[in-house]
Homo-oligomer: A and B are copies of this chain.
Amino acid sequence: MSKVAFIGLGAMGMPMALNLLKTGHAVTGFDLRTEPMQALVAAGGSSTTSAAAAASEADVLMLMVVNAAQARAVLFDGGALEALPSGGVVLLTATCPPIEVAAIAAEVEAKGRRFVDAPVSGGTAGAKAGTLSMMVACSDALYAELLPVLEGVGGKLFHVGQEAGQGAAIKVVNQLLCGVHIAAAAEALALATKVGVDPALALEILGGSAASSWMLNDRGPRMLEAEPEVTSAIDIFVKDLGLVLEAGRGAKAALPLAATAHQFFLSTSGRGEGLADDSQVIRAYHLLNGN
């Protein structure tokens, strides 16, 4: 079992850290908010006053932060990489641009630490249930060494390559589909409303037909609520579809559906609703259609 420094105890990170605790790892958490650190301690973990303090006694420094800029801030500006014992492993599970992940990995390795690119998919529900998909890129030896930690977090592990950035690349493709499927569900349910079909009935039928998607069944019911619980915010997809389009620009690939879907998340955020549940991208459609 490993000593894990877990940075970023948000909607995804908190249940991931709790699962690591349950599977026997020692977890020291750090977050900018005190509340999740107290919850981690109550569950048997430890908390510290900084990411660097957490890293200083860890085998594995796990980063479930919002983006690559936060990962850099923690590792380089915040001193966590220097604090991590030599040979320690930086495990980056946040969704970041593949090129950025490769660059961070190079800087980590230049300082004598090791790096694992391991983004996850499955949302907060998957994080809680321990059924996340993990797309892991690192050497075979490091993968084997880290398997107990990876299994402590995820339900479905995929060793997708040896090079940092290969996990991030699959995650980008994953987010393309997730973002487009949420917007498509909104477009469909808004059309149902506009043509006089009961959207709840439509959702019941579509959710069990060839029209179904994981997102339709997960986000669809919340699209029918005016102020649903926030399980993942609009601004997360503003960011993630932004990463998708950035990867498309980098590779010179046309992504017209992803670009269109992005506009709806952007406009929802631009109306001041970026912290609403991402199902509320349907508001943009209702506004357009006068529903």
Contacts and interface: CB of A to CB of B under 8 A. Distances in A.
Contacts of A204: 158
A251 interface: yes
A177 B206 contact: yes
Contacts of A192: 169-170, 173
Interface string A185-196: 101111110111
Nearest to A120: B209
- Copies of this protein in the assembly total 2
A122 B251 CA distance: 36
A173 B210 CA distance: 12
Interface in A168-191: 169-170, 172-178, 180-181, 183-185, 187-191
A212 B214 contact: yes
B214 A218 contact: no
A207 to B, nearest CB: 10
Contacts of A261: 257
B257 A205 contact: no
A287 to B, nearest CB: 10
B177 A180 contact: no
B215 A214 contact: no
Contact of A177 (B188, B218, B251, B260): B188
A160 interface: yes
Mostly, the A contact residues are helix
A94 interface: no
A184 B181 contact: yes
A123 interface: yes
A257 B263 CA distance: 11
A143 to B, nearest CB: 15
Contacts of A1: none
B180 A98 contact: no
A133 B122 CA distance: 27
Contacts of A184: 176-177, 180-181, 184, 257
11 contacts: A158-B204, A160-B205, A170-B205, A174-B209, A174-B210, A180-B184, A184-B184, A187-B258, A191-B247, A194-B251, A213-B213
Interface of A: 98, 121-123, 126, 133, 135, 156, 158, 160, 166, 169-170, 172-178, 180-181, 183-185, 187-192, 194-197, 201-202, 204-206, 208-216, 218, 244, 247-248, 250-258, 260-261, 263, 285, 288-289
